């Protein structure tokens, strides 16, 4: 590999990129846009969730509890119901997101320190689920205590109001999404950029010129990929900064590890993009093929749905996707404060994926027109 | 090995099939050094395919190629250091400036780093881009693009230059300038292989190969080739050229009657013997046919031109094929 020719390709790519406003807009726009969009989805401060309330106790204390819950503003009574079963039906139909059940023996339960009320949550929406949990924090007012402004001794230990989440028992929070989002955005943009960068040259006829020169296949491929590594890192910085700033996402592990993990994913995706580019005949085809990779990545990697809950076959497919391994790395590093070396199987998987894809891509690329 | 006497390109039995279609059919070529060698043929005659095979971009289905003493495609990588290739479609980067394009090509073609700046400055001056160094290539006119493509193709001073229909999208004046540049390069010792479908350009070449439907149907210098048609070309002047043309088209022995303004250019089939008697007899026959339509029409022998050569060559080739 000749350094000068390699640099010539890199420089050319950077110069072209600088003049391509749509690509530039995509590089910066996609991360910001997605983060803001997902930011709303993971906003925990939901208000005015439609709720159904079944107060079977009908005591002043139970009514006081209901009033306290309503006072939080999280829920708003919207449907009438008399039994927990009716609440379940309303919940299933999507008429309410939260159901509050106060059992007949409320007073006794409170006296005995057992769970005093049940909140039924539509867990299919994680944001709702999280919001409903706030309700469980409502202090159970003891009307024998005259001063409500007394120090929070009246706050019962957790567990007095039981939250039962239906449909999605695993609770995932905002911090879980932002690290994953780095992976999703890198998967989306990196694969597409490289795939298109090469196919575009073929469409415009540049490729015929390039292959008639002494440029080698590796120089061409690596030279095409390198500028996008930089772009990928810029995107990573952007998402991280916004994630920390807007959503207070923690970085518990080393920042270096975060970037190493990002680079591993970037090169894996770029190699995949190259492979696509050797197969696609037009930019449109390249985009289509990219969607074939992108959808399973989003759905199976564990970004949207927990990996452990997937059927075996889906897990096998997921193991082939770079995003799956990246998610394990980045969540480990950012959220659990793990070191990359502790997560070596996934590091190895990403390196292996890159090596295989790159080799196949270079082997597939012919300096020929036939 | 790279002696002057050795031809720059030698090809034997060169064939390329795309599925059922035979794009190039057993073509033999010998291209002398330091000359402008022309490929003349209509669209789809196999010019581009042949050029691509010669510079190692396409693998021949059959046949042998030796370019600058190197076997192609086996030694195509080695060959690429010594050739320049100008594609039919503008293939430099439209979103790079004139100078950036040249810088890129210099680096890729291995122009020594120390000489790159100097070399680019020279080319910019020679090809008149002094005021346009920072202009994006995509915004250049057709003629300017071709000039830039040529400058980029010769940046590493290749021994052999392939040009695939370099002037197909260029106005006549730019074409003339462009050909001046080609002759300068040939004078400087470069061998040039140029494909074209323009007769006037073909006429300028030192040597010419005529391709028709993948076959080589003629080969020689333009002078040799026109001389070979002596006696087969006539000019008919008539006030009713279209009717005369119609009458001549069905006359046995007439290959073509092409209208040029008020006159017709008539080309006949090969004569059995090129002598005064048979030429007169042929003229008599044409005259008789013409007079039936237009008694005032005149018929005079004419010097064959390359157009005639082309028509005759493609016709003879097809006749041979049919036989």
User: What are the helix and strand counts (H, E) for chain A?
Assistant: 14, 5
* DSSP annotation string for B237-269: E-S-HHHHHHHHHTSTTEEEEEEETTEEEEEEP
Q: Which residues of B touch A (CB under 8 A)?
A: 52, 55-59, 73, 76-77, 80-81, 83, 85, 87, 89-96, 100, 103-105, 107-110, 113, 136
**Cα-only R_g, chain A:** 27
Q: What pLDDT is attached to residue A167?
A: 40
**Domain end position, chosen among A166, A198, A231:** A166
Domain that holds residue A185: 3-41+173-364
**Per-residue pLDDT at A365:** 84
Which residues in chain A show pLDDT less than 50? Answer: 44, 143-159, 167-172
Task: Out of B55, B59, B107, name the one closest to residue A8 (CB).
Answer: B107
CATH code, domain carrying A143: 3.40.1710
Q: Are residues A96 and A243 in the same domain?
A: no
Reported ipTM: the value is: 0.84
Q: Which helix (H) or strand (E) holds A197?
A: helix A174-204
Between CA A160 and CA A318 the distance in angstroms is 40
Q: What are the tens digits of pLDDT across the range B189-224?
A: 999 999 998 888 999 999 999 999 999 999 999 999
Note whether residue A369 is domain-resident.
no
Closest C-alpha to A49, from A133, A137, A106: A133
* Coil/strand/helix, residue A185: helix
More confident residue, B176 or B3: B176
Cα distance between residue A275 and residue A261, in whole Å:
22
Contacts 24+ apart (CB under 8 A), A42-46: A42/A126, A42/A127, A42/A173, A42/A174, A42/A177, A42/A247, A43/A127, A43/A174, A44/A127, A44/A130, A44/A131, A44/A173, A44/A174, A45/A131, A46/A74, A46/A127, A46/A128, A46/A130, A46/A131
The pLDDT tens digits of the residues spanning B6-44 come to 899 999 999 999 999 999 999 999 999 999 999 999 888
First to last CA, chain A: 24
Any idea which fold B9-222 has? Answer: Rossmann fold (3.40.50)
Q: Strand B70-72 and strand B62-67: pairing?
A: antiparallel
What is the rounded distance in angstroms from the CA atom of residue A17 to the CA atom of residue A188?
A: 18
Instruction: Test A5 with B110 for CB contact under 8 angstroms.
Output: yes
Disruptive mutation site among A24, A214, A216, A366 for chain B (greatest number of B CBs within 10 Å): A214
Do A310 and A356 belong together in one domain? yes
Query: Using the beta-carbon criterion (under 8 Å), do A5 and B95 form an inter-chain contact?
Result: no
User: What is the rounded end-to-end Cα distance, in angstroms, of chain B?
Assistant: 41
CB contact (8 A) between residue A204 and residue B80: no
Q: Residue B157 — very low, low, confident or very high, per pLDDT cuts 50/70/90? A: very high
pLDDT for B54-98, tens place per residue? 999 999 999 999 999 999 889 999 999 999 999 989 999 999 999
Residue of chain A nearest B113, judged by CA positions: A4
Contact A212 B80 (CB under 8 A): yes
* Environment class of B112 (CB within 10 Å of its CB; exposed 0-12, middle 13-18, buried 19+): exposed
Name which of A5, A16, A204 is nearest B108 (Cβ-Cβ).
Answer: A5
Question: Are B57 and A369 in contact (CB < 8 Å)?
Answer: yes
Q: How far is CA B248 from the centre of its chain?
A: 30
Question: What domain count does chain A have?
Answer: 2
pLDDT band at B114 (very low <50, low <70, confident <90, very high): very high
Task: State the smallest CA–CA distance between residue A7 and chain B in angstroms.
Answer: 9
A168 touches A304 (CB < 8 A): no
* Among B52, B62, B51, residue whose Cα is nearest residue A370: B52
Which comes out higher in pLDDT, residue A122 or B128? B128
CATH of domain B230-303: 3.30.70.100
Sequence-separated (6 or more) residues with CB below 8 Å from residue A37: none
Q: Average pLDDT for residues B115-127, to the nearest whole number?
A: 96
The residue among A149, A166, A183 that closes a domain is: A166
- According to DSSP, the residues that pair with B219 across neighbouring strands are B209
Q: Are residue A203 and residue A316 in the same domain, yes or no?
A: yes
Model pTM? 0.78
- Which pLDDT score, from 0 to 100, does residue B131 have? 95
- For chains A and B, what is the number of CB pairs under 8 angstroms? 77
Domain boundary among A120, A143, A166: A166
Of A113, A129, A126, A190, residue with least CA distance to A164: A129
Please report, for residues A42, A209, A338, B57, B193, the alpha-carbon distance to residue A212 in angstroms, rounded to integers and kept in the order given.
52, 5, 49, 7, 15
Determine, yes or no, domain membership for A370: no
Do A154 and A292 belong together in one domain?
no
Q: Are A127 and A192 within one domain?
A: no
Is pLDDT above 50 for B235?
yes
The pLDDT of residue A40 is 64
One domain, residues A33 and A54: no
What are the tens digits of pLDDT across the range A293-341? 888 888 888 887 777 777 889 889 999 999 999 999 998 888 778 888 8
Question: Of the candidates A294, A326, A261, A290, which has an alpha carbon nearest to the alpha carbon of residue A197?
Answer: A290
Q: Is residue A290 part of a domain?
A: yes
B101-to-B57, B144, B166, B235 alpha-carbon distances in Å: 22, 13, 18, 50
Where exactly are the structural domains of chain B?
9-222, 230-303
- Record the tokens describing residue B6, joined without a space: 């050795």
Is there a single domain that holds both residue A158 and residue A79? yes
Query: From start to end of A179-248, where are the E strands?
Result: none
pLDDT for position A121: 80
Q: Do the beta carbons of residue B240 and residue B68 sit within 8 Å?
A: no
Please give the Cα distance from B40 to A102 (Å, whole number): 94
- Selecting from A2, A20, A214 the residue whose C-beta is nearest the C-beta of B80 gives A214
- The pair phi, psi for residue B222, each rounded to 5°, is -55, -40
């Amino acid at each position: 590999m000749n350094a000068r020719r390699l640099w010539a390709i890199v420089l050319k790519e950077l110069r072209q990129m600088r003049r391509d406003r749509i690509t530039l807009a995509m590089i910066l726009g996609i991360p910001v846009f997605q983060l803001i969009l997902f930011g709303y989805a993971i906003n925990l401060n939901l208000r005015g969730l439609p709720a159904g309330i079944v107060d079977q106790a009908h005591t002043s204390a139970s009514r006081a509890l209901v009033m306290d819950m309503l006072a939080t503003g999280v829920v708003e009574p919207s449907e009438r119901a008399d039994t927990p079963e009716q609440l379940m039906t309303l919940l299933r139909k999507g008429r309410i997101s939260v159901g509050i059940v106060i059992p007949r023996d409320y007073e006794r339960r409170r006296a005995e320190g057992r769970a005093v009320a049940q909140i039924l949550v539509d867990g299919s929406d994680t944001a709702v689920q999280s919001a409903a949990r706030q309700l469980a924090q409502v202090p159970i007012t003891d009307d024998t205590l005259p001063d409500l402004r007394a120090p929070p001794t009246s706050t019962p230990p957790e567990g007095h109001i039981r939250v039962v989440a239906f449909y999605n028992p695993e609770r995932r929070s905002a911090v879980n999404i932002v690290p994953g989002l780095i992976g999703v955005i890198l998967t989306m943009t990196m694969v597409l950029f490289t795939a298109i960068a090469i196919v575009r040259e073929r469409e415009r006829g540049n490729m015929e010129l390039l292959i008639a020169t002494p440029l080698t296949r590796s120089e061409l491929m690596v030279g095409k990929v390198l500028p996008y590594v930089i772009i990928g890192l810029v995107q990573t910085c952007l998402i991280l900064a916004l994630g920390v700033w807007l959503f207070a996402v923690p970085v518990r592990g080393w920042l270096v590890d975060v970037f190493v993990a990002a680079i591993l994913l970037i090169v894996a995706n770029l190699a995949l993009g190259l492979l696509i580019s050797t197969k696609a005949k037009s930019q449109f085809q390249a985009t289509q093929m990219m969607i074939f990779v992108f959808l399973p990545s989003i759905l199976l990697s564990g970004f949207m749905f927990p990996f452990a809950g997937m059927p075996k076959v889906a897990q096998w497919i997921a193991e082939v996707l770079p995003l799956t391994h990246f998610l394990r790395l980045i969540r480990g590093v950012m959220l659990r404060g793990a070191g990359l070396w502790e997560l070596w199987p996934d590091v190895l998987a990403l390196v292996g994926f890159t090596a295989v894809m790159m080799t196949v891509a270079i082997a597939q690329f012919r300096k020929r027109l036939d | 090995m790279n002696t002057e006497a050795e031809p720059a390109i030698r090809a034997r039995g060169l064939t390329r099939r795309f599925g059922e279609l035979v794009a190039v059919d057993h073509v033999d070529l010998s291209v002398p050094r330091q000359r402008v060698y022309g490929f003349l043929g209509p669209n789809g005659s196999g010019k581009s395919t042949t050029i691509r095979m010669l510079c190692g971009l396409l693998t021949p289905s059959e046949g042998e190629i030796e370019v600058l003493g190197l076997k192609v495609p086996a030694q195509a990588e080695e060959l690429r250091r010594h050739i320049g290739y100008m594609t039919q479609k503008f293939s430099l980067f439209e979103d790079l400036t004139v100078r950036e394009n040249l810088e890129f090509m210099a680096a890729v073609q291995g122009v020594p780093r120390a000489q790159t700046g100097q070399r680019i400055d020279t080319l910019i001056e020679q090809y008149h881009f002094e005021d346009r160094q920072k202009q994006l290539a995509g915004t250049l006119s057709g003629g300017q693009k071709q000039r830039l493509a040529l400058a980029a193709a010769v940046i590493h001073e290749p021994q052999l230059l392939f040009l695939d229909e370099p002037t197909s999208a260029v106005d006549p004046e730019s074409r003339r300038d462009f050909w001046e540049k080609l002759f300068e390069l040939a004078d400087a010792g470069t061998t040039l292989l140029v494909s074209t479908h323009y007769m006037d350009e073909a006429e300028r070449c030192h040597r010419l190969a005529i391709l028709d439907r993948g076959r080589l149907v003629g080969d020689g210098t333009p002078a040799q080739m026109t001389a070979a048609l002596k006696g087969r070309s006539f000019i008919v002047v008539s006030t009713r050229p279209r009717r005369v043309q119609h009458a001549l088209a069905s006359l046995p022995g007439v290959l073509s009657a092409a209208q040029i303004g008020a006159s017709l250019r008539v080309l006949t089939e090969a004569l059995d013997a090129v002598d005064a008697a048979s030429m007169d007899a042929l003229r008599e026959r044409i005259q008789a046919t013409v007079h039936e339509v237009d008694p005032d029409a005149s018929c005079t022998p004419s010097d064959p031109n390359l157009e005639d050569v082309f028509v005759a060559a493609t016709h003879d080739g097809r006749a041979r094929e049919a036989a």
